[in-house]
Homo-oligomer: A and B are copies of this chain.
């Protein structure tokens, strides 16, 4: 059994590789829900969706999110009706949100609605939202406090992030199975996701960081920063605006209290000493997942590496 903490696109690619090199049924994924939001009355859970679409093979490979070949006729009509349309919702994508929203209104938890979607889409991994409670991430910026999706999509990640407000996540209880899946697993892997807005909200949920510190399973983390740059998204700029160096070593520092193996890219091999000096063993490998084989290779290498820490 392997437990993975996951954000969106980078995590989904890693999981895609992982599910190809071990039985999906042995993988539990704890997914960030800090960027969940409501659009047009629909409960959208972007990181869960990206993981579901990727693992079911439906994903739009070019964007890394959404459904391949999707159309936007509903959204265009909503715009015509005067509705906000800055959040991209494809017609096929909306089906999934309708299904989830209906189940939530019927009283199902997000956990159960997600489990049902896994079954409907033939996804073998166990996907757990980090919490079933509201846990919206907010960002303090020079333009004021913003909801995650306002910052990320509406404003295209342009505002400088001065603070990440995870108060809602900190007040939320983990979803059923989350703490157990950390305590009773063979290994935990933090996927290469943004440490502030993807992994950070998961760690903020009550008891999760402590469970990671206390688990007897080894914990590995894969740096989302390669050569000082985020492979996708604003992690590098956020690190700077939050007062850190944009480097894999800074990410390692954020996880120092519970990570047993830190995975960096070949390009960052020179950082090995700096990170090991923090007391964290380092695994240097190709972390950029530019092909299906690269995803599998990374998954295999990290699993082997973290198992070796037992």
Contacting B at CB under 8 A, from A240-265, are: none
The residues of B that contact A70 with a CB separation of less than 8 Å are 73
The residues of B that contact A102 with a CB separation of less than 8 Å are 40-41
Contacting B at CB under 8 A, from A17-60, are: 40-42
Min CB–CB distance A75 → chain B (angstroms): 7
Contacting B at CB under 8 A, from A105-133, are: 105, 117, 120-121
A41: which of B74, B82, B96, B101 is its contact (CB, 8 Å)?
B101
A92: which of B40, B74, B92, B121 is its contact (CB, 8 Å)?
B74
The residues of B that contact A67 with a CB separation of less than 8 Å are 77
Contacting B at CB under 8 A, from A58-109, are: 67, 70-71, 73-78, 80-83, 90-92, 94-96, 98-99, 101-102, 105
The residues of B that contact A81 with a CB separation of less than 8 Å are 95-96, 99, 117, 120-121
A91: which of B74, B83, B99, B101 is its contact (CB, 8 Å)?
B74
The residues of B that contact A83 with a CB separation of less than 8 Å are 95, 99
The residues of B that contact A40 with a CB separation of less than 8 Å are 98-99, 102
A120 and B80 CA atoms in complex are apart in Å by 8
Contacting B at CB under 8 A, from A258-300, are: none
Please indicate which of the listed interface residues A67, A98, A102, A120 has the most CB atoms of chain B within 10 Å of its own CB: A98
Give the interface SS of chain A, mostly helix, strand, loop or mixed. Answer: helix
The residues of B that contact A120 with a CB separation of less than 8 Å are 80-82
Decide if A41 touches B105 in the complex (CB within 8 Å): yes
The residues of B that contact A117 with a CB separation of less than 8 Å are 81
Min CB–CB distance A70 → chain B (angstroms): 7
A74: which of B74, B76, B82 is its contact (CB, 8 Å)?
B74
A92 and B81 CA atoms in complex are apart in Å by 11
A238 and B75 CA atoms in complex are apart in Å by 40
Decide if A77 touches B105 in the complex (CB within 8 Å): no
Decide if A95 touches B75 in the complex (CB within 8 Å): yes
| Nearest-neighbor residue (CB-CB) of A105 within chain B | B41
Decide if B77 touches A95 in the complex (CB within 8 Å): yes
A238 and B117 CA atoms in complex are apart in Å by 42
Decide if B78 touches A91 in the complex (CB within 8 Å): no
A-B contact pairs, 18 of them (CB 8 A): A41-B98, A41-B105, A71-B71, A71-B91, A73-B90, A73-B91, A73-B92, A74-B92, A74-B94, A74-B95, A76-B95, A77-B96, A80-B95, A80-B120, A81-B95, A81-B96, A81-B99, A83-B99
Which residues of A come within 8 Å of B, CB atoms? 40-42, 67, 70-71, 73-78, 80-83, 90-92, 94-96, 98-99, 101-102, 105, 117, 120-121
Extra contacts besides A67-B77, A71-B73 (9): CB < 8 Å? A40-B99, A41-B101, A41-B105, A70-B73, A71-B71, A75-B95, A81-B120, A82-B120, A91-B94
